[in-house]
Structure 1
Amino acid sequence: MGTVVGLRRYPVKSMLGEDLAAVRVTERGLAGDRGFAVVDGDGAVGSAKHPRKWGPLLRCRSRTAGSGTALVELPCGTALHCGDDELDKRLSELLGRQVSVSDSPPRDGVLERAVPEYEGGVPEAARKRAFVDETGETVTSGQVAAGTFYDFGMVHLVTTAALERLRAVRPEGDFDARRFRPNLVVDVPGAPGFPEDAWLGGELRIGEALFRVTLPTPRCVVPTLGHDELPADPGIMRAVAREHRIPVLTLGPLSCLGVYLEVVEPGVVRTGDTVAVGQAG
């Protein structure tokens, strides 16, 4: 049905990640993925979903550096290990306030999201509760998934078919998969539009692992930001909002690209693995 053409993990939340040839998938997602996050004294978890406050994190790159640790490359090129006081100092200077890197999710960790102008960027009920914070940005506030640094799903998949559909409707946009920060990029040759919509509620066998497809992935402002050599492009999410607003739970129609997966059977996944779609058992 499809083939894995990209594997990626992000050892530190909201930093650039690392490409992989193979990865062990555990019950909690890809081993080493979002094992760390930058947090501040107010309990806010660093997320580029609030670009004015946390956007500089996307100028940093993280990669695993042995079991249970990660290395952060700062914009200046300096590389420091998570847990190093010098890293906390440098990140505090970068962000303009006191922060630290943690591998322990705060019990009530706050996750802030900027409210985009395009329709479907946040549920309408959340838009009504939005407020202007100290940065002057209109934001909503929620929490990370309990006991983790994930926003919601622990594994995120996008298809090449969805990206090609968006390129067709907005040829001037660079719909590079990296903008959407997936763990898995799956090539589905010849598939029209958004084939992953039909997988919801079903299962995917990918390499040794088995996943259940749980939800469409609502998109925030992050794909519009600069990633590595990719420039900022506000039109990216406007195109998604025009082409793919679909119902998510009881939240109404939201601008979505990709799907969230939960792990049914752990195992190793490799680039080049086939993806087989089935019904949930």
Structure 2
Amino acid sequence: MTSARSTRPGVVDRLLRYPVKSMLGEEIPAADVTERGLAHDRRLALVDKETGRVASAKHPRVWHRLLTMTATAGTSAVRITTWAGEELCSTDPGVDDALSEIVGRPVVITDTPPHEATLDRADPEDVLRRDGVGQPVGAHTGRIAVASPQGTFFDFAPVHLMTTSTIARIAELAPHGDAQAERYRPNLVIRTPHAPGFTEDDWLDRTLRIGPDLVLRVIARTPRCAIPTLAHGSLPTDTTALRVLAEHHRVTPMASVGALPCAGVYAQVLRPGRIVLGDAVHWS
């Protein structure tokens, strides 16, 4: 494990948000961050009309088509661009029917999580065996309710961070793969100069200060699921995105949880603030 206890700050290298859960997102130059995460992040989601479950690409056999669409946030609505270049608006009268046809399930797009919402996901070990099986898991119960604000579509916590050193290490371990931050869907990519390896492993339970105001607390290392292996827009399917972590970086996400393939960390917001590209990141 690489030590990250240097006083030398990191820098906000990229900011990304995903206005519709499990769709491709957008890169932005700045963001206001509250206890509910980046403004407009996971603002909407699709809900299966038949099961009442939140649609998530964590269960790729059913929901992989979500990653063929790109969502961008506007002031009052979200614009969705399909793989064919068709543009939909989240407030259009026929948007539910259009999205249902694309994903192959009857869905409704909503900003309100169902009561006791659940989602389906594939077991990462089954994915590695090329035999992914969807299992229902609580999206806002138990530990998750402690970390993630009620009434949101986050699976665990409102902010997800990765470092450039982690992305570079994945690329080094899988030279024939396609290591891109987009596969892992972070909100913040932090450039950590002269910090080799999975440096954010050492941030668990530590405080991050970003820019003049924002304060985060790292609450867990991020266990990875099937999503990084899937095609993301123009990025092709790449099973090494998960396999390299399973083989080279199994760590405990948090206390009382066994070792899992991990990359990046989850954080909750202790003090809201605005961040912009290039902001210094200090940890303590």
Common fold, TM-score beyond 0.5? yes
> Which residue type is aligned with residue 234 of structure 1?
T
1:196 to 194, 200, 217: 200
Letter paired with 1:82: S
Give the secondary structure class of the aligned counterpart of 2:124.
coil
Q: Is this contact kept in 1: 2:23–2:69, CA < 8 A?
A: yes
Please give the alpha-carbon distance, in whole angstroms, between the structure 1 residues aligned to 2:54 and 2:107: 10
User: What is the rounded CA distance, in whole Å, between the counterparts of 2:47 and 2:104 in structure 1?
Assistant: 13
Residue 251 of structure 1, CA deviation: 2.4
**Cα RMSD over matched residues?**
1.7
Counterpart of 1:66 (choices 52, 68, 75) is 75
Query: What are structure 1's unaligned runs of at least 5 residues?
Result: 122-135
C-alpha contact (below 8 Å) 1:120/1:245 kept by paired residues = no
Task: Determine what percentage of the aligned residue pairs are the same residue.
Answer: 45
Q: Answer yes or no: is the 8 Å Cα contact 1:153–1:261 preserved in 2.
A: yes
Select 1:55's aligned residue among 32, 52, 64: 64
Look up the SS of the partner of 1:272 in the other structure: coil
Specify the code of the residue in structure 1 equivalent to 2:251. I
Task: Check conservation: 1:116, 1:221, Cα contact below 8 A.
Answer: yes
- Give, in angstroms, the shift of residue 85 of structure 1: 2.8
1:237 is aligned, of 231, 234, 242, to 242
- 1:252 to 2:261 alignment: no
Comparing 75-84 and 98-107, the one that deviates more: 75-84
1:14 aligns with 2:22: yes
1:8 is displaced (CA, Å) by: 0.5
In the alignment, which of 127, 136, 141 is matched to residue 141 of structure 1?
136
Residue ranges of structure 2 left out of the alignment (5+ in a row): 1-8, 141-149
Q: Which residue of 2 aligns with 1:275?
A: 281
Q: 1:118 to 1:140 in 2, by over 3 A?
A: closer
Q: How many residues align?
A: 263
Distance 1:16 1:192 in 2: 28
Question: Displacement of 1:137 after TM fit?
Answer: 5.2
Instruction: Tell me the TM-score normalised to structure 1 length.
Output: 0.89
| Partner SS for 2:270 | strand
Instruction: State how far apart, in whole Å, the 2-side matches of 1:140 and 1:228 are.
Output: 25
Residue in 1 aligned with 2:32? 24
